[in-house]
Amino acid sequence: MNLRQALTWVALAGAVLAGATLLDRAGFPAPQMMLAIIVGAGLAMTGKLPKPLPSQLNLGVQGMLGVVMGSYLQISLLTSIGWDLLPVAAVTVATVVLSIVVALFFSRVTKVDIPTATLGMLAGGSAAVVAAADELDADPRRVAFMQYLRVALVALSAPAIAAILDDEEGISYSTATLGGSVTDPSLPYWMIVGRGDQVAGISTAIMLCVMGIWVGRRIGLPNAALLGPMLLTALLTAAGISHGYAPTHLFKDLLFVLIGFDVGSRFTRRVVCEMMRMIPAMTMAVLALSGLVAALALGLGYFVELERSDLYLATTPGGINAVLATADKMNANLPLITSVQTIRLLLMMLMLPMLMRGLRRFTVPITV
């Protein structure tokens, strides 16, 4: 990659970040990656795409994304929920199972290969799932399309479903945010890690990224670039050894933009036309999944002393940012919602390689 091409990528990333900031303020779900995918796909299909980004950059982006995900684990939130966490965790596992079942039906109806359909329908961790699609033998273009259509639909439907299930007066709960123990939300947007000492924070993040990838490869982890840093960071976060190292604000948004560019640059006109035809079936699949999850939350509400609306928001099939915004406005149980969403995210990423090995024998080759 020459200097001109590098400067072109820098300008594109800056423009997408600026546009995503405006969309974020308007309440648009996951604008950084979605806008980058659209821009990358547009450039790819018109033949104006600069030289592809280096593979080493994609490796580093996955590692840093693993650091972000591992930083979400907050033991203090888990202990604050008590024994109610067990049945809620069981429903969380059931949500993942339902995602797979719906994906299998969707695959049969639309003729999309099973690994791609499964990754596209899995609840939660959209950015991580898209980043891992290549190594798990799925088509990252279709996975990204399905994941973010699902995120958009969940973001639109979650407030309405939660309001229907909210049959009691709102109760004031303690404040919690995803990754809150390692990120100071009051920091200005240009800060790249979650504490004031940026040099120490980014140094820790780089160390976790490099060591996590090395350890992940040594122990034979599938998708070591993502899972290695995630597990190492989760251990560090749970032990409370350090804080403030997670990429945040500008840096985290840039990671999503780079993943979006990597996926968007692979689009072709044939793939786009095929995905447009998938929208009705995909919409029905997501609505069915949301309805089944709402039914689980409604049933669980009879066995635990928790609000049914809180249970639904804790187990929604994705759309975590919209869910947290809805929960905050409803005075919902944020520690519960944050903890359960985090547990599902970590468990899902750990089980993905094993799940994909089990489904691989059903794989139908992707035609591009």
Outline where DSSP puts E strands in the chain. Answer: none
Task: Report if residue 333 sits inside a domain.
Answer: yes
CB neighbour list of residue 90: distance below 8 Å, 6 or more residues apart:
none
Task: Report if residue 130 sits inside a domain.
Answer: yes
Report yes or no: 331 and 162 within 8 Å, Cβ to Cβ.
no
Task: Report if residue 228 sits inside a domain.
Answer: no
Average pLDDT, the chain: 76
Residues of the domain holding 253: 3-182+249-362
> Stretch 155-160: mean pLDDT, rounded?
71
Alpha-carbon span 40 to 15, nearest angstrom: 12
What per-residue confidence (pLDDT) applies to 174?
44
Alpha-carbon span 348 to 344, nearest angstrom: 6
- Of the two residues 184 and 210, the one the predictor is more confident about is 210
Task: Report if residue 259 sits inside a domain.
Answer: yes
What per-residue confidence (pLDDT) applies to 177?
47
Is 332's pLDDT higher than 60?
A: yes
Alpha-carbon span 58 to 72, nearest angstrom: 22
Task: Report if residue 233 sits inside a domain.
Answer: no
pTM of the prediction? 0.68
Task: Report if residue 239 sits inside a domain.
Answer: no
How far separated are the first and last CA of the chain, in Å rounded? 26
Residues in the chain: 368
What per-residue confidence (pLDDT) applies to 209?
92
- Of the two residues 347 and 56, the one the predictor is more confident about is 56
Alpha-carbon span 94 to 345, nearest angstrom: 14
Alpha-carbon span 7 to 53, nearest angstrom: 12
Residue 196 pLDDT level (bands cut at 50, 70, 90): low
Number of domains in the chain: 1
Task: Report if residue 213 sits inside a domain.
Answer: no
Alpha-carbon span 99 to 333, nearest angstrom: 24
Report yes or no: 316 and 293 within 8 Å, Cβ to Cβ.
yes
- The type of residue at 13 is A
